Amino acid sequence: MAPTPAEARALIEQAPGLTLTLDYTHFIKQNISQEECETLMPYAAHYHARGAEPGRLQASVSANKVDFKRVLQAMERVKYNGYVGVEYVWTEWEHCNEVDNLSETVLLRDHLRGLMA
């Protein structure tokens, strides 16, 4: 709905109380910094987690550029109490069919659990 964090904030400002499903991957793909993505965390009611890298909406855990430790720290700072969904999908759109979704889901789940321990 909003291709940049700035545009997402503009929508939020027009609708007080609006929350969003935050998915850094759409921004990381465009080489937008994680720091800029974090500005949206206070408005998040749901978070989608998967690997991403510049040029790739979906990437393997080994190629991933999202710092999930930092994501969890940002969640802690804003007292995020929503859900985190691991969101690997298999579709030709955006080359999302080029990773093993089942294996990557398990790997990312285990990585997140390790960070939360």
Structure token pair of residue 60: 């393997």
Nearest to 100 by CA among 53, 47, 40, 50: 50
Reply yes or no on whether the pLDDT at 101 is more than 90: yes
Q: Return the domain boundaries, the chain.
A: 18-116
Q: What is residue 1's predicted lDDT score, i.e. its pLDDT?
A: 82
pLDDT by residue (tens digit) across 106-115? Answer: 999 999 999 9
Q: What is residue 98's predicted lDDT score, i.e. its pLDDT?
A: 95
Q: Which strand (E) or helix (H) includes residue 86?
A: strand 83-86
Q: What is residue 52's predicted lDDT score, i.e. its pLDDT?
A: 98
Q: What is residue 87's predicted lDDT score, i.e. its pLDDT?
A: 96
Q: What is residue 96's predicted lDDT score, i.e. its pLDDT?
A: 93
Contact between residue 50 and residue 24 where contact means Cβ atoms under 8 Å apart: no
DSSP code per residue over 10-32 = HHHHHSTT--EEE-THHHHTTT-
Q: What is residue 40's predicted lDDT score, i.e. its pLDDT?
A: 98
Contact between residue 22 and residue 48 where contact means Cβ atoms under 8 Å apart: yes
Tell if the pTM clears 0.95, that is, is over it: no
pLDDT by residue (tens digit) across 26-79? Answer: 999 999 999 999 999 999 999 999 999 999 999 999 999 999 999 999 999 999
> For residue 51, what are the β-bridge partners?
59
Contact between residue 47 and residue 71 where contact means Cβ atoms under 8 Å apart: yes
CATH 3.40.50.300 fits domain 18-116: no
